[in-house]
Amino acid sequence: MKILVTGGAGFIGSNFVYHMLAKYPGYRIVCLDKLTYAGNLSTLESALKNPNFKFVKGDIADKEAVDKLFKEENFDIVVNFAAESHVDRSIENPELFLVTNILGTQTLLDACNRYGVKRYHQVSTDEVYGDLPLDRPDLLFTEQTPLHTSSPYSASKASADLLVQAYYRTYGTPITISRCSNNYGPYHFPEKLIPLMISRALADESLPVYGDGKNVRDWLYVEDHCKAIDLIIHNGRVGEVYNIGGHNEMSNIDIVKLILQYLGKPESLITYVTDRKGHDRRYAIDPAKIHAELGWLPETKFADGIKKTIQWYLDNKKWWQDIINGEYKNYYEKMYGNR
Ligand code: NAD
Ligand code: TYD
């Protein structure tokens, strides 16, 4: 089996590469990644030593490069993780999100049709469903929930999902889509909530909480997401959407306080800052379909996953300090300087 993993130098893609190499020693895994600010080759250091793994630097929206790679490799399965993934950046510069997340998806779908790929899997997000109210805990996102996006990021992901479904209907492209809730775990880029708070708390720096801190996200350990995608690409029904989430809703402020508690740092580091524009209030996934059809259930409880994650950031300081000390410094100043 030959699998193309796009965006494999990023957070979830790299965890997926390691999951697949460990579980399927007979598979060949090729990673196509543009190495944007979010992609990091050092993340794939161990994978690069595996003869079954190959890294190719390139853009999923570059038709010629994609065509050349598909011609050379004859992939059985394509799993598309590559995306611009940060909501705050999409508010500053939407265009890049449309190019990578929509046109990049179209470029990959066209190549799948041209070269007869047996499965194209689109890694999507629960953010395509918009948000839920805080006072209705009974409401969850199902696969039937209408798409209703808030940010340029989520709009670009929803557009890509519609395109993937259109290719299934129009050309019969063998697709599946998964929509997962917020992930956490190793190799999470330190601009996102959990790694940002861990890295700043360790440096005794202020922790910027948006708005009232009561926004709720449904957190899933990244390995559980990878296992769900593994099940979908092997056993999922073509043309279907699968929601992935572990019924683990937490408010941002509770997460930040938990991190401070584990690190033995004071709550006085918490600083409430101006809210994100269009900030989604609550996400919550109903994963009943993937459980019933594929037997998937999350294995890592949040209490264990967050401890493992914090320990990983303590053990791998060089990985995130290299990022924080680079171009990222300017980003932090620009995004948070006057907030
Ligand atoms: P990430 O930002 O950590 O990684 C994205 C990767 O894609 C990077 O390695 C980057 O270099 C690469 N990339 C960006 N543009 C590219 C292009 N044009 N061509 C090739 N490579 C390109 O993102 P992530 O958090 O790992 O998310 C991966 C996927 O999962 C995304 O599609 C995202 O929408 C989705 N998702 C993420 C979460 C989450 O909590 N992080 C939850 C649900 C779904
Ligand atoms: P984030 O990790 O950006 O993921 P997403 O917006 O895709 O869910 O943010 C998670 C939550 O944390 C979201 O409600 C915004 C909030 N947040 C902060 O309060 N402060 C921060 O510095 C960041 C990056 C996020």
Structure confidence by residue, pLDDT tens digits, 72-117: 999 999 999 999 999 999 999 999 999 999 999 999 999 999 999 9
Q: What is the pLDDT at residue 335?
A: 85
Does ligand 2 come within 6 angstroms of the Cβ of 173?
no
Higher pLDDT, 246 or 225: 225
Please state, in angstroms and rounded to a whole number, the distance separating the CA atoms of residues 328 and 245: 30
Does ligand 2 come within 6 angstroms of the Cβ of 192?
yes
CA nearest neighbour of 220 among 191, 201, 243: 243
Summarize pLDDT for 7-44 with one digit per residue, the tens: 999 999 999 999 999 999 999 999 999 999 999 999 99
Under 8 Å between Cβ of 153 and 84: yes
Q: What is the pLDDT at residue 316?
A: 97
Please state, in angstroms and rounded to a whole number, the distance separating the CA atoms of residues 221 and 184: 5
Please state, in angstroms and rounded to a whole number, the distance separating the CA atoms of residues 333 and 324: 12
Does ligand 2 come within 6 angstroms of the Cβ of 217?
yes
Does ligand 2 come within 6 angstroms of the Cβ of 210?
yes
Residues 128-141: what's their mean pLDDT?
98
Q: What is the pLDDT at residue 24?
A: 98
Does ligand 1 come within 6 angstroms of the Cβ of 82?
yes
CA nearest neighbour of 324 among 316, 3, 44: 316
Residue 205: Cβ-neighbour burial (10 angstroms; 0-12, 13-18, 19+)? middle
Under 8 Å between Cβ of 225 and 12: yes
Q: What is this structure's pTM?
A: 0.98
- Please say if the pLDDT value at position 190 is more than 90: yes
Q: 3-class DSSP state for residue 254?
A: helix
Q: Which of 191, 193, 335 to mutate to test the pocket of ligand 2 (most atoms within 8 A of CB)?
A: 193
141-150 — which CB contacts under 8 Å span 24+ positions?
141/179, 141/243, 141/283, 141/284, 141/285, 141/286, 142/243, 142/286, 142/288, 142/289, 143/179, 143/240, 143/241, 143/242, 143/243, 143/289, 150/278, 150/279, 150/280
At residue 162, φ and ψ (nearest 5 deg) are -65, -40
Q: What is the pLDDT at residue 339?
A: 78
Tokens standing for 17?
């590469």
Taking each helix axis from N to C end, the angle separating 222-235 and 11-23, rounded to the nearest 10 degrees, works out to: 60
Under 8 Å between Cβ of 130 and 136: no
Closest ligand relative to 214 C-alpha: 2
Q: Nearest C-alpha to atom 3 of ligand 2 is from which residue?
A: 192
Q: What is the pLDDT at residue 177?
A: 99
Q: What is the pLDDT at residue 107?
A: 99
Give the Å distance between the CA of 193 and the centre of ligand 2. 5
Summarize pLDDT for 289-332 with one digit per residue, the tens: 999 999 999 999 999 999 999 999 999 999 999 999 887 778 78
Q: Which of 4, 5, 6, 11 to mutate to test the pocket of ligand 1 (most atoms within 8 A of CB)?
A: 11
Give the Å distance between the CA of 95 and the centre of ligand 2. 21
Residue 153 among the catalytic residues: yes
At residue 296, φ and ψ (nearest 5 deg) are -75, 135
Closest ligand relative to 244 C-alpha: 1
Q: Which atom of ligand 2 is nearest to the CA of 194?
A: 2
Does ligand 1 come within 6 angstroms of the Cβ of 90?
no
Under 8 Å between Cβ of 185 and 226: no
Query: What is the pLDDT of the chain when averaged over all its residues?
Result: 97
Under 8 Å between Cβ of 34 and 58: yes
Give the Å distance between the CA of 77 and the centre of ligand 2. 32
Q: What is the DSSP letter of 99?
A: I
Of 33, 59, 84, 126, the catalytic one is: 126
Does ligand 1 come within 6 angstroms of the Cβ of 180?
yes
Q: What is the pLDDT at residue 333?
A: 82
Q: What is the pLDDT at residue 18?
A: 98
Q: What is the pLDDT at residue 48?
A: 97
Q: Where are the beta strands (DSSP E) in 58-135?
A: 77-80, 119-125
